[in-house]
Chain A
Amino acid sequence: MEARRASRTVSDPKVRHVGFFTPDPNPHPGRTPLASDAPVSNSLSPVMILPPRQPSDRTAAVPVPETGLRRQTGADQVPVGSYNPSESLLSSSPLPSSPSSRVGLVDGEFSEESGGWLRRSESGNYASSLPDTMVERAPENSASAAPRLESKKSVEVTGKGGKAVVEEQNEVQSSSKPLKAKTTKAERRALQEAQRAAKASGKEGNKSAAVSQGAAPVKPVKQPAQKKDGPPVSVSVVSFDKKGGDRPPEKERKKDVPAPRMQFDDKSRVQKAKKHAVVKQTEARNRVELFRHLPQYEHGTQLPDLESKFFQLDPVHPAIYKVGLQYLAGDISGGNARCIAMLQAFKEAIEDYSTPQEKTLARDLTAKISSYVSFFIECRPLSISMGNAIRFLKTRISDLPLTLSESEAKAALCSDIEHFINEKIILADKVIVRHAVTKIRDGDVLLTYGSSCVVEMILLYAHEMGKQFRVVVVDSRPKLEGQALLRRLVAKGLSCAYSHINALSYIMHEVTKVFLGAASVLSNGTVYSRVGTASVAMVANAFHVPVLICCEAYKFHERVQLDSICSNELGDPDAIAKVPGRTDVNYLNNWANKENLQLLNLMYDATPADYISMIVTDYGMIPPTSVPVIVREYRRDHVFL
């Protein structure tokens, strides 16, 4: 495992130096027409590259290259070869049966609707490109999932193969050796194809050409297999497979383009998603036109129904169910709390998990996790921190060595989860506190908005250190999270002022620093956080008060966002109509009956980077322009964890 990674990093610059986008004009005259059949001939459209279905085809079509590589794959052949077809058949055939079919399908949905949250590093492009092509050509035939699986595998592998070729040509044998550990026949075949092609093309090492040629000879054989694809399952399978693959950074980077999220104004998608939903959501009546693309459901209606279902739901683990209900009821909120609750539920679920017969842990568990995740999404849209944690978990699952026994694997995963919680959340918070506290001086007036647990820790720690400062807690409707924070701070003996967000301009005169938490920091420096944060940062900026964002690096995300409209979460509109403790404000009592009245309860907003002086993370204190660096470094770190 480790060796493989090392090899990748070693070969990394080489791959980049290879002429990537200059396709070979005509390397194999006989094949070019076929290659041009594929819509995109470079590595971006692996969908079209499909290995043959029959073993006989395979052996027939592949001219055997001579290297020692071949010998090694031969040694591996027995376990791997048997693994591939049987596994794929098995994993596809039980799918239509009752619980797992739901799982599979939901996961398919999920990979489309929120792939952005989960698999950005793995298969952004696949998720977006696959469904279309598959759906187009596919009459429903779930029995033929087998070739599909294979094909996906090979798809992913050809890329790898291409890389391996390059590597091999320039590099030591050893670097490609560990790669063999997991290769299937299809992989090997694709690799050989690519290798041959690369050689033929005069060692230009042109990867795109290699890939397209690798695809070319296979193509005619492939046609029938493609026809039989059934859309959703294949998508989900793809998503699992992708994770297993270790692909060159160059390629990875391309795939990093986040998959589009589920758009709720897409009727057919919503219908599909609804069919498999555990949580029966009813559409809100007075929907805000501008936010059609976000889910707008009635709030507070699903809980009793779900509670009654508690004992009937076999596909969802009770721990998951509990946490899901807590999300739904709003008992757990805040990025860290939600993430930790989810991870611990996953841990419990993994501890209770046993691999069904004739399935592999990696695949089945990933499917399970995906179904859990889609359940969470039904309860409440994922936060970015959760998306990152899920991505981490899935990577860990797919990276599990096949040699591990089930109990070992489970133990490894559980310790991984524990490690993540400790390292990325708890310790990270401590580091942030240490960093941020250096910025607090005696006599400061610190303003914070809403309730961020990191900021609270910073304030308390600074207070413990004996620094003399005052705190201004600014709050806003409808959540009024600041009140709880205020109560805790006052109980600890800090001297506080409290106000609502409209009084910002008044109170900002005396403030010397603004400390804010964040739900996520996006790679263009935008801070995605509780609604109102942007206003606070803006007013602080207008009064020339520095704004410090405190956010753990695991919440950083490579997505970019310019406004708060395109992606957001909508809360319960009724919370706006009612003002707690103010009986005189009752103008909107039966607002739902009024056709042209909508209440919009936005949950998050995006603070532009130019309002932010500094972001305090566990990697240190950085300007918002350095976020992409952290995102990049973090991902590497994340893999090595």
Chain B
Amino acid sequence: MVDIQGLVNELVSKLRRRKVEGSRATARLTAELLRSVISQSKLPTTNQPAALIDAVRDVGEKLIAANPIELAVGNIVRRVLHIIREEDHSNARDAVEGFRLSVGGDNDYIVEQDHLNLSAAAQSSLCRPSLHALLERSPDSATTYFTATSEDDSEEKSKSLDQNAKSLKFRRKVISAVNDLIEDINTCHLVIAELAVEHIHHNKVILTFGRSRTVKEFLCAAKEKKRSFGVFVAEGAPKYQGHLLAKELTARGLQTTVITDSAVFAMISRVHMVIVGVHAVMANGGVIGPVGLHMVALAARKHAVPFVVVNGTHKLCPLYPNNPGVSLNEMRSPSEVLSFEQFSDCMDYRIVTGAPQLLVVNPAFDYVPPELVSLFITDIGGYCPSYMYRLIADYYSSDDVVIQQKPAS
């Protein structure tokens, strides 16, 4: 337990100091931490999933508080919670299946009874019944089913050995699912890259902004398929990650042109497609990306150039943004924009003249509303912004949307 606490604190301090940046890195670290939380935490014998959910939630809350802007942390926490619920639910479903098959009621499954209410509710809400089932099953049968399951509640638990095995199995299942999640995070850009040939043709001119590993792999994958196309890279002040991307793309043999951010509007009329990586995708289909992305999206809209976002599913965030340009933004150091010499000069003036003040604004992120985004290309295929809410329903359970909801006590 102690070392878990240590690990959590370490990641929290890293996040707080912005030592870890980039949604992919944070997502992976968070997932790994939560995996160890799951494997190490002591669980009571009863109501295991609930205890696990609480543990994960506690850790998640700390992580989110450490860097509320890094939405990937929250996403991963929610994903893990969802995994736990799913496992729990699938166990319950097994139980229900068994229960319903062996009509008399087998004692083996009594343990699971207390979860049945929850899981049954979840089942009815999440798992779409087949058309046949809808036709067959009358409302009465559903109610009888519920009463049937709940009546055994009071019965004594038995077969603790079996139960232990079950809890181990459960935990193992959850961990392997989290492992799958980590694997997904690590390889999502490769999966996305496979879709590249469907979107990039010969002699296409593509504009990208800043640097994103996903975009890089996406473009390189198309290049490997012998497509020849040009790439304009906007440098993405104040980080100038575009320079790095240009270098990497050139090393892979792509025809690359670096332009300043101010030239985006001028060049976009000659561009066939804008492909960008983003920081997070909100539930309404809007995206949060590197600062300047809104300008690029507006220019693309003006010239009717498709604005395509490539992102892994770990960037899907189930929150609906309210004034995200301000609330989900952070201010970086002014020294990135204005060199200290200039700045200190201006401060001198201020001291001499008294009144005037000098603000240097250096936000880190930009919000692009969904109507400016043409398409999302994710590791599960291409979707338009209006469909994002549905994807989110697939990956997160609605109980977890607000993690802080549960009081910490």
Interface centre among B247, B266, B267, B362, by most chain A C-beta atoms within 10 angstroms, is B266
Interface string of A591-620 (1 = CB under 8 A from B): 100101111111011101000000000000
Could you tell me the distance between the alpha carbons of A504 and B294 in the complex, rounded to whole angstroms?
A: 9
Task: Spot the interface stretch: A34-42, A319-327, A492-500.
Answer: A492-500
A509 CB contacts on chain B under 8 angstroms: 325-326
Q: Report yes or no: B298 in contact with A538, Cβ–Cβ below 8 A.
A: yes
Task: Spot the interface stretch: B46-54, B335-343, B375-383.
Answer: B335-343
Closest to B343 in A: A498
Other-chain residue from B236, B255, B269, B329 in contact with A502 (beta carbon distance below 8 A): B236
A495 CB contacts on chain B under 8 angstroms: 355-358
Could you tell me the distance between the alpha carbons of A597 and B350 in the complex, rounded to whole angstroms?
A: 44
Q: Report yes or no: A579 in contact with B356, Cβ–Cβ below 8 A.
A: no
A604 CB contacts on chain B under 8 angstroms: 266
Q: Report yes or no: A602 in contact with B260, Cβ–Cβ below 8 A.
A: yes
Could you tell me the distance between the alpha carbons of A501 and B302 in the complex, rounded to whole angstroms?
A: 18
Q: Report yes or no: B259 in contact with A498, Cβ–Cβ below 8 A.
A: no
Which parts of B314-341 form the interface with A (CB within 8 Å)? 325-326, 329, 336-339
Q: Is B270 an interface residue when CB atoms closer than 8 A count as contact?
A: yes
Task: Spot the interface stretch: A216-224, A233-241, A336-344, A482-490.
Answer: A482-490
With contact pairs A477-B261, A594-B250 given, residues A576 and B235 touching in the complex (Cβ less than 8 Å): yes
Q: Is A531 an interface residue when CB atoms closer than 8 A count as contact?
A: yes
Q: Is A564 an interface residue when CB atoms closer than 8 A count as contact?
A: yes
Closest to A564 in B: B266
Q: How far is the CB of A493 from chain B (nearest CB, A)?
A: 5
Q: Is B162 an interface residue when CB atoms closer than 8 A count as contact?
A: no
Closest to A482 in B: B338
Q: How far is the CB of A503 from chain B (nearest CB, A)?
A: 5
Interface size class of B (residues with CB under 8 A): 35 or more
Q: Report yes or no: B247 in contact with A588, Cβ–Cβ below 8 A.
A: yes
Q: Is B391 an interface residue when CB atoms closer than 8 A count as contact?
A: no
B243 CB contacts on chain A under 8 angstroms: 577, 585, 587-588
Q: Is A505 an interface residue when CB atoms closer than 8 A count as contact?
A: yes
Q: Report yes or no: B350 in contact with A506, Cβ–Cβ below 8 A.
A: no
Other-chain residue from A487, A506, A588, A601 in contact with B346 (beta carbon distance below 8 A): A487
Q: How far is the CB of B300 from chain A (nearest CB, A)?
A: 11
Q: Is A60 an interface residue when CB atoms closer than 8 A count as contact?
A: no
Q: Is A539 an interface residue when CB atoms closer than 8 A count as contact?
A: yes
With contact pairs A477-B262, A600-B258 given, residues A538 and B358 touching in the complex (Cβ less than 8 Å): no
Other-chain residue from A501, A580, A596, A605 in contact with B250 (beta carbon distance below 8 A): A596
A608 CB contacts on chain B under 8 angstroms: 302
Q: How far is the CB of B192 from chain A (nearest CB, A)?
A: 24
B326 CB contacts on chain A under 8 angstroms: 506, 509
Q: Report yes or no: A496 in contact with B338, Cβ–Cβ below 8 A.
A: no
Q: How far is the CB of A593 from chain B (nearest CB, A)?
A: 10
Could you tell me the distance between the alpha carbons of A591 and B250 in the complex, rounded to whole angstroms?
A: 10
With contact pairs A498-B360, A506-B325 given, residues A290 and B291 touching in the complex (Cβ less than 8 Å): no
Closest to A584 in B: B240
Q: Report yes or no: A503 in contact with B338, Cβ–Cβ below 8 A.
A: no
Q: Report yes or no: B361 in contact with A606, Cβ–Cβ below 8 A.
A: no
Interface centre among B237, B253, B263, B326, by most chain A C-beta atoms within 10 angstroms, is B263
Could you tell me the distance between the alpha carbons of A509 and B246 in the complex, rounded to whole angstroms?
A: 32
Could you tell me the distance between the alpha carbons of A494 and B353 in the complex, rounded to whole angstroms?
A: 10
Q: Is B349 an interface residue when CB atoms closer than 8 A count as contact?
A: yes
Interface residue SS majority, chain B: mixed
Q: Is B305 an interface residue when CB atoms closer than 8 A count as contact?
A: no
Q: Is A232 an interface residue when CB atoms closer than 8 A count as contact?
A: no
Which parts of B125-177 form the interface with A (CB within 8 Å)? none
Other-chain residue from B255, B260, B292, B363 in contact with A601 (beta carbon distance below 8 A): B260
Q: Report yes or no: A602 in contact with B270, Cβ–Cβ below 8 A.
A: no
Q: Report yes or no: A600 in contact with B263, Cβ–Cβ below 8 A.
A: yes
Q: Report yes or no: A497 in contact with B237, Cβ–Cβ below 8 A.
A: no
Which parts of A276-321 form the interface with B (CB within 8 Å)? 288-290
Q: Report yes or no: B260 in contact with A582, Cβ–Cβ below 8 A.
A: no
Closest to B257 in A: A598
Closest to A588 in B: B243
With contact pairs A490-B349, A535-B262, A564-B266 given, residues A503 and B356 touching in the complex (Cβ less than 8 Å): no
A538 CB contacts on chain B under 8 angstroms: 265, 295, 298-299, 302
Other-chain residue from B258, B266, B353, B361 in contact with A563 (beta carbon distance below 8 A): B266
Q: Is B264 an interface residue when CB atoms closer than 8 A count as contact?
A: yes
Q: Report yes or no: B350 in contact with A502, Cβ–Cβ below 8 A.
A: no
Other-chain residue from B261, B265, B345, B359 in contact with A534 (beta carbon distance below 8 A): B265
Which parts of A456-511 form the interface with B (CB within 8 Å)? 476-478, 483, 486-487, 490-491, 493-507, 509
B346 CB contacts on chain A under 8 angstroms: 486-487, 490
A576 CB contacts on chain B under 8 angstroms: 235, 258-260
Q: Is A532 an interface residue when CB atoms closer than 8 A count as contact?
A: yes
Interface string of B207-246 (1 = CB under 8 A from A): 0000000000000000000000010100111101001101
Q: How far is the CB of B369 from chain A (nearest CB, A)?
A: 10
A507 CB contacts on chain B under 8 angstroms: 361
Q: Is A542 an interface residue when CB atoms closer than 8 A count as contact?
A: yes
A600 CB contacts on chain B under 8 angstroms: 232, 257-259, 263, 267
Other-chain residue from A539, A565, A581, A597 in contact with B266 (beta carbon distance below 8 A): A565
Interface centre among B243, B299, B329, by most chain A C-beta atoms within 10 angstroms, is B243
Q: Report yes or no: B246 in contact with A503, Cβ–Cβ below 8 A.
A: no
Q: Is B112 an interface residue when CB atoms closer than 8 A count as contact?
A: no
Closest to A568 in B: B266
With contact pairs A597-B256, A601-B260 given, residues A535 and B265 touching in the complex (Cβ less than 8 Å): yes
- Which B residues are closer than 8 A to A by beta carbons? 230, 232, 235-238, 240, 243-244, 246-247, 250, 253-267, 269-270, 290-292, 294-295, 298-299, 302, 325-326, 329, 336-339, 342, 345-346, 349-350, 353, 355-363, 366-367
Q: A490-B346, A564-B266, A564-B267 are in contact. List 7 more A-B contacts (CB 8 A).
A: A289-B230, A494-B356, A502-B261, A538-B265, A580-B339, A581-B339, A599-B258
- Which A residues are closer than 8 A to B by beta carbons? 288-290, 476-478, 483, 486-487, 490-491, 493-507, 509, 531-532, 534-535, 538-539, 542, 563-565, 568, 576-577, 579-582, 585, 587-588, 591, 594, 596-602, 604-606, 608
Closest 10 CB pairs of A and B: A532-B262, A502-B292, A564-B266, A505-B294, A497-B359, A605-B266, A476-B262, A499-B361, A587-B243, A534-B265
Q: Could you jot down 8 A-B contacts, CB within 8 Å?
A: A477-B261, A496-B358, A499-B337, A499-B362, A502-B366, A565-B267, A585-B243, A588-B258
